[in-house]
Amino acid sequence: THAHSHDALRPADAPVHPPVSETHPYEDQDPKNMPPDLGYGCKMVDGVVHVYTRRSPATELDLPYPDLQEYIADMSIMMALIINGPVKSFCYRRLQYLSSKFQMHILLNEMKELAAQKKVPHRDFYNIRKVDTHIHASSCMNQKHLLRFIKRAMKKYPEEIVHVEKGKGQTLSEVFESMSLTAFDLSVDTLDVHADRNTFHRFDKFNAKYNPIGESILREIFIKTDNHIEGKYFGHIIKEVMEDLEESKYQNAELRLSIYGRSRDEWDSLAKWAVRHGVYSDNVRWLIQVPRLFDVYHTKKQLANFQEMLENIFLPLFEVTVDPRSHPELHLFLQHVVGFDSVDDESKPEHHIFNLDSPLPADWTEEDNPPYSYYLYYTYANMTVLNHLRRRRGFDTFVLRPHCGEAGPIHHLVSGFMLSQNISHGLLLRKAPVLQYLYYLAQVSIAMSPLSNNSLFLSYHRNPLPEYLSRGLMVSLSTDDPLQFHFTKVSGLPGFTRVCCVPVVAPSVPHGCGVPRSIQKGLEAVKSHWLGPAYTREGQEGNDIRRTNVPDIRVAYRCETLCEELQLITQAVHSAELDPIAEEDSLSMMPLPGAS
Tell me the mean pLDDT in the region 5-23.
35
Q: Which residue has the higher pLDDT, 247 or 199?
A: 247
The string of pLDDT tens digits covering residues 67-117 is: 999 999 999 999 999 999 999 999 999 999 999 999 999 999 999 999 988
pLDDT for the residue numbered 250: 85
The domain that holds 258 is classified in CATH as 3.20.20.140
pLDDT reported for residue 65: 95
The pLDDT score that the predictor gives to residue 488 is: 65
Give whole-number Cα distances, 500 to 503, 510, 548, in Å.
Answer: 6, 18, 13
By the 8 A CB rule, do 113 and 553 touch? yes
pLDDT tens for residues 525-547?
A: 666 666 656 666 776 777 777 77
Give the 3-state DSSP-derived string for 524-579, with helices as H, strands as E and coil as C. HHHHHHHHCCCCCCCHHHHCCHHHHCCCHHHHHHHHHHHHHHHHHHHHHHHCCCCC
Which residues have a catalytic role annotated? 425
**Does residue 174 lie in a domain region?**
no
State yes or no: pLDDT of 14 exceeds 50.
no
Structural domain count of the chain:
1
Q: Is residue 25 part of a domain?
A: no
Lowest mean pLDDT among 1-5, 351-355, 403-407, 561-565: 1-5
In a domain, 210, yes or no: no
In a domain, 155, yes or no: no
In tens, the pLDDT along 435-460 reads 999 999 999 999 998 888 787 888 88
pLDDT tens sequence across 133-155: 999 999 898 888 999 999 999 99
Spell out a b/e string for 233-247, using b for 16 or more CB atoms within 10 Å of the CB, else e.
Answer: bbbebbbebbebbbe
pLDDT in tens, 220-231: 999 999 988 999
Contact by Cβ (8 Å): 449, 480: yes
Question: What pLDDT does residue 166 have?
Answer: 79
Task: Quote the pLDDT of residue 586.
Answer: 45
Domain of 341, in residue numbers: 31-142+229-347+369-588
Domain assignment present for 64:
yes
pLDDT tier, 2 (very low <50, low <70, confident <90, very high otherwise) = very low
CA distances from 221 to 215, 227, 253, 290 (A): 10, 7, 24, 21
Give pTM, 2 decimals. 0.85
User: Residues 263-307: pLDDT tens digits?
Assistant: 999 999 999 999 999 999 989 999 999 999 999 999 999 999 999
Q: Is 408 helix (H, G, I), strand (E, B) or coil?
A: coil
The pLDDT of 304-320, averaged and rounded, is 97
* Burial group, residue 492, by CB count within 10 angstroms (0-12, 13-18, 19+): exposed
Of all residues in the chain, what percent carry a pLDDT higher than 90?
A: 53
Average pLDDT value over all residues in the chain: 83
